[in-house]
Structure 1
């Protein structure tokens, strides 16, 4: 719902969205959360709800982000509130700990996890929420050494940094035979997005890793959940990196990577983040441009609160979903993708089963369903040899 209103009203409009109060699963004692990166508008709002609920938060602070005044402003404001004399913030300062750590460095991840345990005694929920988005078509990311490095940086940020935190936390969760790992990704884990191939690739890699890991840790009573909001949510609440644009992929010549234009328009709404198009056009000295989108507080609320409330409802749940899609737009997009995959699978099921050396009941059932038109497009029938 929040995504729909955001796209209809636009970041600068004043449309209000009725989002119900946050809900939490039933638990016997406060939980301890570890956030791999705590400076995005989404995570700052989540932390407020968790502290108000009585939970404890170990907040990962990537050095490059905490040193950026604009990026860290909301988190620092939250810390000042925690230290204030406000009655509704009583006890907050004792239940939050900011920990500087670069997720790309395994040693720092281990030290951060150890500090969290030394401070709060344990970790119950690991929320992997580190993200940034590289925007650029495949060709645009292979024009020179700098753009090729963006590919490696994308995987370092989204995949390897999260994996490092998971590896650092797993022995603790396994030892106490309980815990919940939540991975915040996006529907880009289901659907490829033109103009953001490396963002999608690193997201798919992380989800494949976690789908496999879920089976390995289930015997230790450790839960795994992948939370997928609509793509605009993780992208607009974190750094966006624009690779130099080739003329062949300009929207006037190639409409496929149109998301670049959409994101550029959002960034250009604020004068402090506006992009000079000449800087990212493929000329003699094209430049890589990095921006944290600056949105109004109301726009941030409309963008992220539905995802925030999904995380509060799922985190630490006794029987959490393996994968949760936030918002009806994301659900509709993923269902359409799965429908297409299913239809194509049925259309070519005869080819798939033709390579089977040994016939089986499963194969015969698949061919039988195809002959009956199950999953096929209207008017198509698959014929098979007896």
Structure 2
């Protein structure tokens, strides 16, 4: 009993991966995953099947046909089909509790058909996990549009904005809308949305990804109030941003030379600061903040380039002048002037220049291939959080995964709370109406100032008397 009354305090942060846990329930639950090809989804499915739950795995056709993205799922499917062929005997019965459905969430009709097939096959849906994601990397200007600053319009990059919202926002909304009639009919259900702390904190170099994440979270915040009378719960799960980025497709927008130059300057400054610190035998705390942080593009490029078959040599979009100078020029004639050359030579040179410009303007698509051990360390904390909350009778409306993510969000919220006092002052200064609220705010602030002055005076009097 003494041990129970005085337990040893748990450490605030530990690098150990927590063990998986599931909420207690009397019968297996049916999980509906909107995208089941990511390493995170694969590891979650293994835990769910091992626990005895049922899984509906939606497989986007355009990603299922990509061998790099679907390799782990195909391996899992083989284990489920042939459990007795070697070391997978514990997988016996898995193939009867998993249902793969080709479904592209961008099309509402396919979402409705997938939900109907899931209900027909398993009878109900208990947990809808929205986990579709793609990370589009690029500054606002690098997304194309009208080509500001005299740059030509780039329709290929401009479509990235729409693609980002189609995957992160609209496909999830379609899945939720397709599942809601069934969940209302059951009078129970749990919608879980795998987001990231990007829903709180903006990320330079990923403005469109952040925008889509904020839109999805705002949608879910409103949705939770609307469907609460039907006993349907909503939970936003927010791991570190890299959990979603490094386990799904990454699209690099063509880089502008201006931004690459700024990034290169930051990298040189960081290298010089590090060299100076090493020569001095350390670095003062005040100097740490002066070192520029590497860009998101650079960090993701390092991860992608760790493997030869997925490396990216250059993402910069050459200016028109350099493209023109790279094209072959006809030789000068005897008078020193350039000869016009044959029409075929000019045509082929123009075609080569056009092809080079088109290749430079096209986005680069890659899929990170991390070692299994690195993937486990990256995603298992999030996976176990999903298993612990999925289908819980009283789940949280928002869950931030991990100490680092919670600390980052806490710092952001602390900054916002400190700014609120300035917001109040600014609002009162421009309030043209002599309202009761304004009067109460001013009186309350005056009372606080008077109380602080009285306390200071009392402290001084007590100190004088003590002397």
TM-score (norm 1): 0.88
Task: State whether structure 2 residue 202 is matched by structure 1 residue 204.
Answer: no
Name stretches of at least 5 consecutive residues in structure 2 with no aligned partner: 1-12, 148-153, 267-291, 324-356, 450-467
Matches within 5 A, 1:188-227: 188-227=198-237
C-alpha separation between the residues in 2 aligned to 1:265 and 1:175? 49
How far apart are residue 20 of structure 1 and its match? 2.6
Tell me if the contact between 2:189 and 2:233 (Cα under 8 Å) persists in the aligned partners.
Answer: yes
Matches within 5 A, 1:217-296: 217-250=227-260, 251-253=263-265, 258-277=295-314, 279-283=315-319, 284=323, 285=357, 286=360, 287-296=362-371
C-alpha separation between the residues in 2 aligned to 1:37 and 1:348? 42
C-alpha separation between the residues in 2 aligned to 1:230 and 1:93? 32
Name stretches of at least 5 consecutive residues in structure 1 with no aligned partner: 6-16, 373-386
SS in 2 for 1:290: strand
Matches within 5 A, 1:151-190: 151-190=161-200
Tell me if the contact between 1:99 and 1:112 (Cα under 8 Å) persists in the aligned partners.
Answer: yes
When residues 328 and 282 of structure 1 are mapped into structure 2, their CA distance, relative to the original with a 3 A threshold, is: farther
Q: Which runs of 4+ in 1 moved over 6 A?
A: none
Bigger helix share: 2
Tell me if the contact between 1:195 and 1:256 (Cα under 8 Å) persists in the aligned partners.
Answer: no
Matches within 5 A, 1:59-138: 59-83=57-81, 84-85=83-84, 86-138=88-140
Q: How many residues align?
A: 358
How far apart are residue 262 of structure 1 and its match? 0.2
Task: State whether structure 2 residue 379 is matched by structure 1 residue 304.
Answer: yes
How far apart are residue 150 of structure 1 and its match? 0.3
How far apart are residue 29 of structure 1 and its match? 0.8
How far apart are residue 370 of structure 1 and its match? 11
Computing the radius of gyration over CA atoms, which structure comes out larger, 1 or 2?
Answer: 2
Give the equivalent residue in structure 1 for 2:157.
147
Give the equivalent residue in structure 2 for 1:364.
441
Tell me if the contact between 1:347 and 1:370 (Cα under 8 Å) persists in the aligned partners.
Answer: no
Tell me if the contact between 2:17 and 2:377 (Cα under 8 Å) persists in the aligned partners.
Answer: no
TM-score (norm 2): 0.73
How far apart are residue 369 of structure 1 and its match? 9.8
SS in 1 for 2:308: coil
How far apart are residue 154 of structure 1 and its match? 0.3
SS in 2 for 1:252: helix
C-alpha separation between the residues in 1 aligned to 2:446 and 2:155? 51
SS in 1 for 2:190: strand
SS in 2 for 1:272: helix
C-alpha separation between the residues in 2 aligned to 1:356 and 1:301? 58
